């Protein structure tokens, strides 16, 4: 692997320290770096189980943003994109009382555009009209909550579902790292952030290698 990486023009080999090879990124764009790695790996018949390049080559479906967005901020737009394209099956879209009506707008847009789940309060008990409409959903494609609630609701997501954690704190690097640790402690992976929004994906480790391969190749 080290010899393979040394051939990439997107990194510069510096040294090997106690068996660990040290490289420095060059100014090659990240997507170009990934494409180069894929080409080199394919030439050596080495394939990555999580190569999702087949997704990058596809156009967005016609129902993506079929409902005009009522928001203008980039974090909410990113949340919509992550939840719309989440690698999981149909499910509900949940929120908690700590989120505002304005913050939930993208969940309602997702529900209308995808047409695969209702928007409900995660802990809402069935009753009244809701009871007539059917049982309260148990598993969610996406959940919108406060950072401190992540640990309570992460396991309510479908495998591959996305948790969006809203907060109104400063988003400096130190605070962002603290919040991401909270999401990791909740069992979430692929954690990232943009201004006042953090996110993570529910990917429990009990999945078999066969299931991982099926998700990676789009079979499941």
Q: Across the 220 residues of the chain, what is the mean pLDDT of every consecutive 10-residue run?
A: 86 90 88 83 72 68 92 92 89 94 95 94 61 67 93 91 86 79 85 84 63 53
Nearest-angstrom CA–CA distance, 192 and 180: 7
Residues 118 and 188 in one domain: yes
Residues 91 and 162 in one domain: yes
Residue 25 resides in a domain: yes
Residues 109 and 195 in one domain: yes
Nearest-angstrom CA–CA distance, 131 and 37: 53
The closest of 118, 61, 131, 122 to 91, measured between CA atoms, is 118
Residues 89 and 130 in one domain: yes
Residues 89 and 146 in one domain: yes
Residues 120 and 31 in one domain: no
- Interacting residues of 52 by C-beta distance below 8 A, sequence separation 6+: 216
CA distances from 174 to 153, 189, 203 (A): 24, 19, 25
Nearest-angstrom CA–CA distance, 57 and 133: 39
Residue 16 resides in a domain: yes
What domain range includes position 32? 2-48
The string over 15-35, giving b where at least 16 C-beta atoms fall within 10 Å of a residue's C-beta and e elsewhere, is eeeeeeeeeeeeeeeeeebee
Query: Which alpha helices (DSSP H) does 115-208 contain, by range?
Result: 128-133, 150-153, 173-185
**HSE of 107, CA atoms in CB hemisphere, 13 A:** 27
Residues 10 and 100 in one domain: no
The H or E element containing residue 94 is strand 92-95
The string over 42-56, giving b where at least 16 C-beta atoms fall within 10 Å of a residue's C-beta and e elsewhere, is eeeeeeeeebeeeee
Residues 111 and 193 in one domain: yes
**What is the CATH classification number for the domain harbouring 107?**
3.40.50.150
Long-range contacts of 180-185 (CB under 8 A, 24+ apart): 182/147, 182/148, 182/150, 182/151, 183/147, 183/150, 185/151
Supply angle C-alpha 19, 21, 25, rounded to 5. 165
Q: What pLDDT shows up at residue 53? A: 64
Long-range contacts of 10-14 (CB under 8 A, 24+ apart): 10/36, 10/37
Q: Is the pTM of this model over 0.85?
A: no
Give the β-pairing of 119-121 and 92-95: parallel
Tokens of 36: 């180069």
Total domains in the chain come to 2
Residues 98 and 178 in one domain: yes
């Amino acid at each position: 692997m080290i010899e393979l990486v040394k051939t990439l023009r997107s990194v510069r080999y510096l040294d090997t320290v106690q068996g660990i090879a040290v490289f420095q990124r060059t100014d090659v764009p990240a997507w170009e770096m990934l494409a180069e790695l894929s080409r080199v790996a394919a030439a050596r018949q080495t394939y990555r189980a999580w190569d999702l390049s087949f997704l990058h080559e596809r156009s967005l479906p016609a129902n993506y943003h079929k409902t005009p967005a009522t928001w203008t901020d980039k974090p909410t737009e990113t949340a919509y994109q992550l939840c719309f394209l989440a690698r999981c099956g149909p499910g509900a879209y949940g929120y908690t009382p700590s989120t505002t009506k304005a913050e939930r707008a993208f969940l309602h847009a997702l529900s209308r555009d995808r047409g695969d789940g209702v928007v409900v309060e995660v802990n809402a008990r069935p009753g009244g009209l809701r009871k007539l409409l059917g049982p309260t959903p148990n598993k969610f494609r996406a959940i919108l909550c406060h950072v401190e609630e992540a640990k309570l609701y992460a396991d309510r997501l479908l495998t591959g579902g996305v948790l969006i954690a809203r907060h109104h704190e400063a988003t400096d690097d130190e605070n962002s790292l603290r919040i991401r640790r909270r999401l990791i402690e909740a069992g979430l992976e692929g954690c990232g952030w943009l201004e006042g929004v953090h996110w993570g994906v529910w990917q429990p480790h009990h999945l078999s290698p066969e299931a991982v391969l099926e998700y990676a190749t789009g079979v499941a």
